[in-house]
Amino acid sequence: MLDLIIVGAGPAGITAAVYAARKRMDFLVVTEDIGGQTALSADVENYTGYQFITGQELAEKFEEHLKQFDVQLKRDEAVQRIEKAPRGSFIVHSKNGSYEARAVIVASGRRPRWLDVKGEAELRNKGVTYCATCDGPIFLKKTVAVIGGGNSALDATLQMMNIAAKIYLINLNPSLGGDPIMREKIQASGKVEVLNSATTLEVLGAKFVEGLRIEQAGRMRDLAVQGVFVEIGSVPNSDIVDFVAKNEAREIIVDNLNRTDVPGIFTAGDVTDVPEKQIIVAAGEGAKSVLGAFRYLSQIS
């Protein structure tokens, strides 16, 4: 029986693990990867202490910090389900095993949202991708489309400006969102054609992506592209726990102490209903969640 299990090792989970180690808690981290969505980011310019760092480098810094402590880490283990145990504890089931603890911190983050249009599923990993950081170099000197209008789409576009020959930025809304500095860089590049108020209808291609069908101002248009980057937001990885309160977006509801409505279950980071999905916010919430869990365990001992 462990004191605590931390599910996930993104900014929230890793920060939680560092704090738990310093508290000398008997805990385990179960995660599919290290770094979470941080590792998928390109340039990070707003994390305190680093004027500029790539997402991958920051994820590596997180991992280095974690290695300073003797942390039990189950890596490459996707958590499938969390359940209540009869004696008031919780059991975390992963693809490789089951683990029990008196408290759990769910820091499972988010995953990319799908377009749900014709051709997307068939051409996934055949030109359709959800990660410019991971797959961008494959499309060197190609023509690509980035779908979305927020910061994630702008980030992907900025990355592809150094790789692709031409980029179509397909935005459903009348104007781009995201940070002004990112929009300014895109508009000044000369490589990006922004198509606002455009709806994606279909990804075209037989074995690989050959085009993208959109509708704009009531007119259908086929764009000749070899890659499609879907950057329309994300959904929380909250399905692993079905007995806590969630909002309409399926985010786990927490109070300012990172408590859910179930005593012993805490949560932190992008899987929660805390606004502003930012690396630094998730890290801070991870610290708070462990402090809350430590206080809870002290009270029930």
Name the CA dihedral angle for 31, 32, 35, 39, rounded to a multiple of 10 degrees. -170
Domains in the chain with CATH codes: 2-111+234-300 (3.50.50.60), 114-230 (3.50.50.60)
Q: What is the pLDDT of residue 80?
A: 96
Q: What is the pLDDT of residue 276?
A: 84
Q: What is the pLDDT of residue 249?
A: 93
Q: What is the pLDDT of residue 239?
A: 96
Local mean pLDDT, 10-residue blocks, the chain (301 residues): 96 96 96 87 82 88 91 94 94 95 97 93 92 88 97 94 97 95 95 97 96 96 97 94 96 97 97 92 96 95 72
Q: What is the pLDDT of residue 198?
A: 97
The amino acid at 226: Q
Sequential DSSP letters for the chain? -EEEEEE--SHHHHHHHHHHHHTT--EEEE-SSSSGGGGG-SEE--BTTBSSEEHHHHHHHHHHHHTTS--EEETT--EEEEEE-TTS-EEEEESS-EEEEEEEEE---EEEPP---BTTTTTBTTTEES-HHHHGGGGTT-EEEEE-SSHHHHHHHHHHTTT-SEEEEE-SSSS--S-HHHHHHHHTTSSEEEE-SEEEEEEE-SSS--EEEEEETTEEEEE--SEEEE-S-EEE--TT--SS-B-TT-PBP--TT-B-SSTTEEE-STTBS-SS--HHHHHHHHHHHHHHHHHHHHHH-
